[in-house]
Amino acid sequence: MIVAKRKPFDEIKDFLKDYKKVLTAGCGTCVAVCLAGGEKEVSVLNAELDMARRLDNKPIELGAITIERQCDREYLEALDSMVEGYDAVLSLACGAGIQFLAERYPEKPVFPGVDTTFIGVNQDVGWYEERCRSCSSCVLGMTAGICPVTMCAKGLYNGPCGGTNKGSCEISKDQPCAWYMIYERLSKQNRLDNILKITPVQDWQNQKPRTVIQPGYKTSENSAEK
Amino acid sequence: MRLDYPSNIKIIRVPCTGKVDVMHLLRAIQKGADGVYAVGCLEGACHYNEGNLRARERVNHVRRLLEEIGIEGDRVRMYNLSSGEGPTFAAYAREMAENIKMLGPNPLKKH
């Protein structure tokens, strides 16, 4: 899931300082699950904004809606009739959702209410950890299911490096060495030969936004865009 | 026991303080309450294991949120006692009322 953090309140308040009628739009998928931008977080933020603006003698009228997904036109459509009536929109979706919303209403100022942080897992209620950097060339098959791009401080596709130190990384004793973990797990699975395989370096330069068209979904329209 | 506690306190009963949400506390202040406090079981003695610990975390969160927007965080507090401690309940009620009197009315009432 995509994990996000609520932006500092002062930053959000500053975005909205010139607007009197704002729609706060939550997203009911990833950011709702990670407790940053769902229906409840929309209510809390609106309550804060309402109180803060009343104290400043600059009351604000706030609308609230949480749609299933802001990264999907099918659901964004529900906002069409609402957005017109507001001066600005505050979106609590991830960066993708916010952009898709802003793209749909190019005349309307759209502001982010969260900082999109990573793709991660749920360790406990409210506790999330990063696991994937969406690098587009997954090596988990060779690395016993441990991602070196995310878990190794250097993001090395081939490791370990000289900085590995009794299971820890050279940057900190508290940071486990990803390649040590990979070695241990491959060893237990009798697949240690995998660690000798060389993965070509990733070309991180000149990256442009990526597009995925799933097999069986190619049309003349979307393949032309590619 | 016929104990007295300040009459300006309105009690809202919940099955466990774990039921008390950030929004409940925030809405109370937003609607003009001068203060709001949660009274839960003693820590370590929650019938649901950690309801009161979750409540404390939420109370602390709301205190921070209020400070962020310019309202005294101390308008929101958490107290713990066992259900057999009537006199402590009354004492905490008096303490909270005194605390709120010192802070004065909810600043939102002027706006």
pLDDT of A190-209, one tens digit each? Answer: 999 999 999 988 777 777 78
Which one of B57, B60, B69, B76 would you mutate to disrupt binding with A, by most A Cβ within 10 Å of its Cβ?
Answer: B69
| Residues A54, A74: Cα–Cα separation, whole Å | 36
Reported ipTM: the value is 0.92
pLDDT at B108: 96
Per-residue pLDDT of B25-50, as tens digits, reads 999 999 999 999 999 999 999 999 99
Residue ranges per domain, chain A? Answer: 2-119, 135-196
For residue B32, give the chain A residue with the closest CA: A51
Whats the size of chain B, residue-wise? Answer: 111
The residue in chain A having the minimum alpha-carbon distance to the alpha carbon of residue B107 is: A55
Identify the band that residue A72 occupies on the pLDDT scale cut at 50, 70 and 90. Answer: very high
* A210 pLDDT tier (thresholds 50, 70, 90): confident
Which range among A111-115, A141-145, B70-74, B106-110 shows the weakest confidence by mean pLDDT?
B106-110
Share of chain A above pLDDT 70, in %: 98
pLDDT for A225 beyond 90: no
| Phi and psi torsions of A32, nearest 5° | -75, -40
**Nearest chain B Cα to A6, which residue?**
B65
Specify the pLDDT at position B111.
72
d(CA A83, CA B72): 34
Burial of A216 (0-12, 13-18, 19+ CB in 10 A): exposed
Phi, psi dihedral angles at A149 (to 5 degrees): -65, -40
Mean pLDDT of A181-187: 98
Cα–Cα dist B35/B108, whole Å: 12
pLDDT at A224 over 70: no
A54 touching B (Cβ < 8 Å): yes
Average pLDDT over residues A141-163: 95
The predicted model gives B14-31 an average pLDDT of 96
Question: Per-residue confidence at A221, pLDDT binned at 50, 70, 90?
Answer: confident
- Residue B69's pLDDT is 95
Architecture of domain A2-119: 3-Layer(aba) Sandwich (3.40)
At residue A222, the pLDDT reads 80
pLDDT, mean of residues A159-175: 95
pLDDT of residue A213: 85
Tokens coding A34:
């990670």
Q: Does A218 score more than 90 pLDDT?
A: no
Q: Is B84 on the interface with A (CB under 8 A)?
A: no
| For residues A67-91, average pLDDT | 97
Residue A194 DSSP symbol: G
Note the pLDDT of residue A36. 96
| CA-closest candidate to residue B76, choices B54, B99, B52 | B99
**Listed residue (A78, A80, A54, A70) closest to A112, CA to CA:** A70
**Distance of alpha carbon A41 from alpha carbon A26, whole angstroms:** 8
When pLDDT is averaged across residues A210-215 and rounded to a whole number, the result is 82
Report the pLDDT value the prediction gives residue B107, as an integer from 0 to 100. Answer: 97
Residue A226 has pLDDT above 60, yes or no: no
Instruction: Taking residues B59-80, report their average pLDDT.
Output: 97
The SS3 of residue A215 is coil
Distance from CA of B50 to the nearest CA of A (A): 13
**A56 pLDDT above the threshold of 90:** yes
Is residue A8 over pLDDT 80?
yes
Strands A110-112 and A88-91: parallel
Residue type, A210: R
